[in-house]
Amino acid sequence: MTFSANISLVLPELVLGVSALVLLVWGAFSKKTTPVFTGASVLALLAAAVLAAIGPHGHAFNGVYSADAAASYAKVAIFVFSALAVVLGDRWLAARGDQKFEFPVLVVLSAVGMGITASAGDLISLYIGVELQSLALYVLAAFRRDDAKASEAGLKYFVLGALSSGILLYGASLIYGFAGSTRFADIAAASHGAHGLGLLFGLIFVICGLAFKVSAAPFHMWTPDVYEGAPTPVVGFFAAAPKLAAMMMFARVLGDAFPDAVSQWRQVLIIAALLSVFVGAFAGLAQTNLKRLWAYSSIANVGYALLGVATGGEIGLHSMLVFMVLYMVDVTGFFACLQALSRDGKPMETIEDMAGLVKERPGIALAMTAFSLSALGLPPFSGFWAKFYVFKAAMGSGDVPLQWAAVLGLVGSVVAAFYYLRLIKAMWFDAPAGSVDKPQPTARAIGFAAALFSFPIVLAALVWLDPAAKAAAAAFGHL
C-alpha cells in the first residue's frame, strides 16, 4: 500500500491533529478566545466527522489502523458530540469569565485519541489512543484550577487513570508475549482453536483496564467524584464521547482480536455488567447531587452496553452501538439543561434545587423529564429503544447465563426507576425554592434539541441508525 493511500485512510485524525496544532499557535498569539476561534474548532470536528463518514475503507499502516464501517459509525458520533462539547464548554466558561483557548484545543486532541482507539487494529495504537484521549480528559476535568473540587476531580481521575493504563499495558504485554504480535489479526490467529492460558490471562488484564476507562463496576470508584467536581459541560462530554470510544475498544479487542474466545470473555463481561447495573441502581438511591446521581446512572447504563458486548457477534455489537448513541444524546441533553440553569448566579446541582422547576422554566423541566423517563427506559422514549435492542440481543443469544443476566438487568432498571421518578416528582410537584435565572440560550437550545430527539425524532432516526449500526457491527472480526 502506498503512503498516500495510508494517509487517505487516516484523514479524519490527520485533519484534526493539524487543526489542533494550527489552533494552538493561533490561540497562543491572539491570547483570546473569540467566537471565530471556537467556530473554527467546531468546524474542524465536523469536517473530520464528514471525512470519517465518506472516507475510503481499508487497513492502513500494515493493519494497525482499520478504517471500516464500525470506525466510521463511531467516529461520526464521537466527533459530533465533541463539537457539541466545545460549544457548551465555551458558553459555560464564558459565563464565568474563564475562557481559555486551550479548551477547544484539548477537546480536539482528545477527539483524535478517541478516533485512534475507535479504529485501532493493534495493541500499540489502542494504547496510544487511550493515553491521548485520557490525558486531555484529565486536564479538562481540572480545567478550573482554582476550584478545589475540580482539582480533586482532575487528580483522582489522573491517578486512577494512570493505574488503569498500567493494568491495560501489563495485559497488552502479556498478550504480546504469548501471541508473538501486537496486531489484532495475528492475535486472532494465535487465539484460534486452543487458546493459551497466557493469552487469556493477558486478556483479563486488558478487560480490567478498559472497564476502568468505561467506568464499569467494580472499577467505577472514580466516576462519582470526578463527575461531581469537574465543570458541568465537561461532565456532559465525559459521559458521552469517551464512553462510546471505550466501548469501541471493548468491541475491537474482543471482536477483532479474540473472536474465538467468546465463551471465555463472556462470563467476565456478564459479571462486570451485572455489578455495574446494580451498583448504579442501588448507590444512586442515596444521592442528592444531580451530577453524582447521573454518574451512577452512567455506571448502570454502561452495564447495559456491556451486556450487549457480552452477547458478542454481530447482533450483540449492533445492540451496543445503537444503545451507546441513543444514550449519548440523552446524557448530553441532560447536562446541557443542567448547565443552562442557575439560581442567583449559583449552579443548580441538587434535587432540592430542582423543586418546582416546572413553574419557573416549564420548557427545561419538560426536557429534563423526558431525559429522566428515557434513562428509566419508558417507551416511547429513546432509552426504551436502546434497552430494547440490548435485551433482545441477550435473550436471543441462546446462552442461559446471559439470558438470566438480562432478566436481572431488567430488575436493576426497575430499582433505578426510583431516583429518576424522584427527580421528576421534585420538578413537578414540590414548591419552588426561589426564582431561577434566565437560562443560557445555547445550552438550552441544545437541551431542547436533544429532548426532541429523545421522543419524536428517535422513531425516524432509528430508521437510518439501525442499518448504520448493523453495517458497523458486521465489520468486526474481518481483519
Which residues make up the interface to other proteins (CB under 8 A)?
6, 10, 17, 20-21, 24, 60-62, 64-65, 100, 102, 105-106, 109-110, 112-113, 116, 124-125, 128-129, 131-132, 135-136, 138-139, 142-143, 145, 154, 177-178, 180, 196-198, 201
What DSSP line would sit under 137-175, residue for residue?
HHHHHT-STTSHHHHHHHHHHHHHHHHHHHHHHHHHHHH
- Cβ-in-10-Å burial (0-12, 13-18, 19+) of 384 comes to middle
SS3 label, residue 220? coil
Smallest separation, CB 331 to other proteins (Å): 24
Comparing CB distances to other proteins, the nearer of 47 and 124 is 124
Comparing CB distances to other proteins, the nearer of 79 and 391 is 79
Which residue is listed with cell 448493523?
Answer: 470
CA 75 distance to own-chain centroid: 12
What DSSP line would sit under 352-395, residue for residue?
GGGTTHHHH-HHHHHHHHHHHHHHHT-TTSHHHHHHHHHHHHHH
Q: How many CA atoms does the CB half-sphere of 189 hold within 13 Å? A: 7
SS3 label, residue 122? strand
Query: How far is residue 470's CA from residue 322's CA, in Å, rounded to a whole number?
Result: 9
Comparing CB distances to other proteins, the nearer of 139 and 217 is 139
Smallest separation, CB 401 to other proteins (Å): 23
Q: How many CB atoms lie within 10 A of CB 448?
A: 19
CA distances, 116 to each of 8, 19, 119, 167, 365 (Å): 14, 16, 5, 20, 38
Query: Which residues does 61 contact at the CB level (< 8 Å), separation at least 6?
Result: 6, 10
Comparing CB distances to other proteins, the nearer of 118 and 132 is 132
Smallest separation, CB 25 to other proteins (Å): 12
Comparing CB distances to other proteins, the nearer of 138 and 448 is 138
Smallest separation, CB 135 to other proteins (Å): 5
DSSP state of 350: B
Smallest separation, CB 62 to other proteins (Å): 6
> What's the distance, Cα to Cα, between the start and end of the chain in Å?
16
DSSP state of 476: T
Total length of the chain = 479
Smallest separation, CB 256 to other proteins (Å): 17
Comparing CB distances to other proteins, the nearer of 168 and 277 is 168
Comparing CB distances to other proteins, the nearer of 168 and 405 is 168
Smallest separation, CB 106 to other proteins (Å): 7
What is the dihedral angle through the alpha carbons of 385, 386, 392, 395, rounded to the nearest 10 degrees?
Answer: -140
Smallest separation, CB 4 to other proteins (Å): 13
Smallest separation, CB 151 to other proteins (Å): 9
Comparing CB distances to other proteins, the nearer of 21 and 460 is 21
Comparing CB distances to other proteins, the nearer of 117 and 413 is 117
Comparing CB distances to other proteins, the nearer of 154 and 255 is 154
Smallest separation, CB 250 to other proteins (Å): 20
CA distances, 140 to each of 35, 80, 380, 435 (Å): 20, 18, 35, 31
Which residue is listed with cell 421528576?
Answer: 424
* Ordered alpha helix ranges (H), 252-342: 262-284, 290-311, 313-340
Query: How far is residue 295's CA from residue 92's CA, in Å, rounded to a whole number?
Result: 20
Smallest separation, CB 200 to other proteins (Å): 9
Smallest separation, CB 253 to other proteins (Å): 17
Comparing CB distances to other proteins, the nearer of 271 and 415 is 271
The kind and range of the H/E element at 222 are: helix 222-229
Comparing CB distances to other proteins, the nearer of 13 and 228 is 13
